[in-house]
Structure 1
Amino acid sequence: MKARPITTVKTVVTGIEDAGAGIKLFTLADPDRWELPPFKPGAHIDLHLPNGLVRTYSLCNEPADNARYFIAVKREAEGRGGSRALHDDIRIGDIIGVSLPRGGLETGPEIARHVFVAGGIGVTPFLSMARHLMQTDDVDFALHLIVREEIPFAAHLAPLIDADRVVVHRTSQRGRPDLASLVGEAGPQTMVSCCGPESMIDDFEQVTAAWPAANVHVERFVAPPPVIDPDAKPFTLSLARTGTEIQVRAGQTMLAALQEGGIDIATSCCGGICGACKVGWIEGKPVHRDRILSPYERERYLMVCVAGSDSERLVLDL
């Protein structure tokens, strides 16, 4: 039984570039040099690696550059294996399946200023947005890059640094800057975003706790530990398109229950931070535990890897 096809696009690795200590920048293109599916600034794609792993990465190039995808990967020796596979096994000419791009930061007319706070390789999701905003006259932005000493993607950031759009803060010289001073005052036309180590994100979330949720965006590399609900009760998933009903045991994830029922669901982080397993819901009362959906999106979608249910029956758009 299959609820929906999982769409992937075949790409070929056309370039591999050293972009800093332990960081490689991979260029992916269509094998026949056709344009790739369009994407928003700061969007993500899932890489379906030859060893069977699926990993999510931010697109670093601007949307107008639609003949290729840039992704940056830092080799994590103690990670889950995806970065090691890319660094150690992937070569120019290799074929990699990628998902259709999803997500990305909004650049709507109501936002007149963006402030990005990035720690080290956390600059990757903001490279695309910064390059895009450089071409936009009516939107101001500043990117604060916090590093110990070395600047990642130095060659790619140089034009932005020269244009005074990127401010580099070296902690080896002056320690970490005060995030509140970087973010500034809350305003309805200002969007603030952060990506970096968990300690930085924690401080950023404290600084922006009083901001409207729609004006704060956080990107994470690592999913937080799963939430264990000692009072979890079993519930029923009803699949609207097929009429199938699937029982979710107490403490079981929706994802596990759906997979046991033979339903194909795209997955990557399995921790509510990548968006790969987003599914629409129609009826019921979901419990949202992800770190990616906006309040508006939660009215229509959930992440089956971490979401729960406060109702005995939850109807999904599957």
Structure 2
Amino acid sequence: MARHIRLVVRRIIADGPDTRRLLLQDPDGWPLPKWRAGAHLDLHVPEVGARAYSLCGDTATQDCWEIAVRREAGSRGGSAWVHDVLNEGDVVTVSMPRCTFPIVLDSSRHVMVAGGIGVTPLLAMAHELERRGALWELHLLFRGEAPCIAAMEGLLRTGRIQLYDTARQARPSWDALLGGEPMPGLHAYCCGPQAMIDGFAEATAGWPAGTTSIEHFIPPPLPAAEGAQPYTLCRSVTGAKMEVEAGGSMLQALRALGAKVDASCEGGICGACEVRWLEGEPIHRDRVLSPDRRRTHLMACVAQCGSARLVVEA
């Protein structure tokens, strides 16, 4: 089960259209645990549950974590609570940061493309890369007004951030953003709405494996899992077991068996519900686990099973 800590909202900054940036600190002013650029945390919203938000500050700042939250028209309750209920001085519960979208530090050049509020994890990356003296560039596409413009003030002075208001100018081509064909040492990153992610994936489809990274902030639709079948789910810790129908929720089944499994996105993109599996044939449908990690772990919110029995350490 993930660790949780209580932090105070020291400042709330209006930073772009329908966007609030929260500066979170320990109530007694203690330094906060270290985190990796590209990480996110879960903000626990009363009567709603956990909602994941990317950390957008500088990893070198030890006494403050920053997140930026845009009010979403189709909010599941998280962004509305942040905008309508949360005030400076309030105490909130958050998870420890986890990183499923890391910087690939052995690359010699980094090109980042963001759409709207998807810029948040890339701002943390930009701070880190600038401090390391790395070659980087960030392309931010938006309509009307850029999000988090105050948060990127210092970074803008580097000249490495390009802003594109697509309400006023033609949307740049992927070749223009990515530089055409991949070059040795180049790694490209993308975070934004699904249409942008789809375009990025198509534009880089022929790139060498391991040279691109994508961060989803809305779970993509999942097709039915091919080969999924009914199975017996077993907890190795207690020996408890239950039957799960083909396509049934492993996360719900584990909770019914008494396992305390965190969850946030419930769409396989945030990494909150990772559990170790010991026996069986899980069908992985998440967007965060590496092939090596999948040999030992799964994401319970979206995983299915292709064998008659699955044993997990939860």
Unaligned 5+ segments in structure 1 are none
Per the alignment, residue 269 of structure 2 pairs with 273
Higher mean alpha-carbon deviation, 241-250 vs 89-98, is at: 241-250
Per the alignment, residue 141 of structure 1 pairs with 136
Indicate yes or no: 2:98 matched with 1:102. Answer: yes
Whichever residue aligns with residue 72 of structure 2, its letter is E
Specify the SS of the correspondent of 2:43: strand
Structure 2 CA distance, aligned partners of 1:235 and 1:34?
47
Structure 2 CA distance, aligned partners of 1:45 and 1:163?
28
The structure 2 residue matched to 1:176, chosen from 168, 171, 187, is 171
Structure 1 CA distance, aligned partners of 2:150 and 2:165?
17
Structure 1 CA distance, aligned partners of 2:285 and 2:60?
34
Per the alignment, residue 260 of structure 1 pairs with 256
Whichever residue aligns with residue 193 of structure 2, its letter is P
Change (3 A) 1:230 1:182: closer
Structure 2 CA distance, aligned partners of 1:211 and 1:301?
27
Give the superposed CA RMSD: 1.8
Whichever residue aligns with residue 141 of structure 2, its letter is I
Structure 1 CA distance, aligned partners of 2:116 and 2:49?
25
Specify the SS of the correspondent of 1:57: strand
Per the alignment, residue 153 of structure 2 pairs with 158
Specify the SS of the correspondent of 1:173: coil
Q: Cα deviation per residue 1:221-267 (whole Å; 9 max; x = unaligned)?
A: 21123433486321122323333333222221111111121211101
Per the alignment, residue 197 of structure 2 pairs with 201
Q: Does structure 2 conserve the Cα–Cα contact (< 8 Å) formed by 1:40 and 1:105?
A: no
Q: Does structure 1 conserve the Cα–Cα contact (< 8 Å) formed by 2:9 and 2:88?
A: yes
Change (3 A) 1:162 1:263: same
Whichever residue aligns with residue 303 of structure 1, its letter is M
What is the TM-score normalised by the length of structure 1? Answer: 0.92
Structure 2 CA distance, aligned partners of 1:212 and 1:310?
30
Change (3 A) 1:211 1:302: farther
Structure 1 CA distance, aligned partners of 2:217 and 2:197?
11
The structure 1 residue matched to 2:55, chosen from 41, 53, 59, is 59
Q: Cα deviation per residue 1:157-190 (whole Å; 9 max; x = unaligned)?
A: 2322221110112212332111133223324522
Indicate yes or no: 2:277 matched with 1:289. Answer: no
Per the alignment, residue 132 of structure 1 pairs with 128
Structure 2 CA distance, aligned partners of 1:253 and 1:269?
14
The structure 1 residue matched to 2:211, chosen from 208, 215, 229, is 215
Indicate yes or no: 2:114 matched with 1:118. Answer: yes
Change (3 A) 1:263 1:60: same
The structure 2 residue matched to 1:306, chosen from 293, 302, 306, is 302
Q: How many residues align?
A: 313
Deviation at 1:315, TM superposition (A): 2.5
Alignment of 1:239-250 (within 5 A): 239-250=235-246
Specify the SS of the correspondent of 1:122: helix
Per the alignment, residue 234 of structure 2 pairs with 238
Structure 2 CA distance, aligned partners of 1:46 and 1:287?
26
Change (3 A) 1:189 1:284: farther
Q: Cα deviation per residue 1:252-306 (whole Å; 9 max; x = unaligned)?
A: 1111111121211101111111111111223322211112222232223211100
Specify the SS of the correspondent of 1:133: helix
Q: Does structure 2 conserve the Cα–Cα contact (< 8 Å) formed by 1:40 and 1:104?
A: no
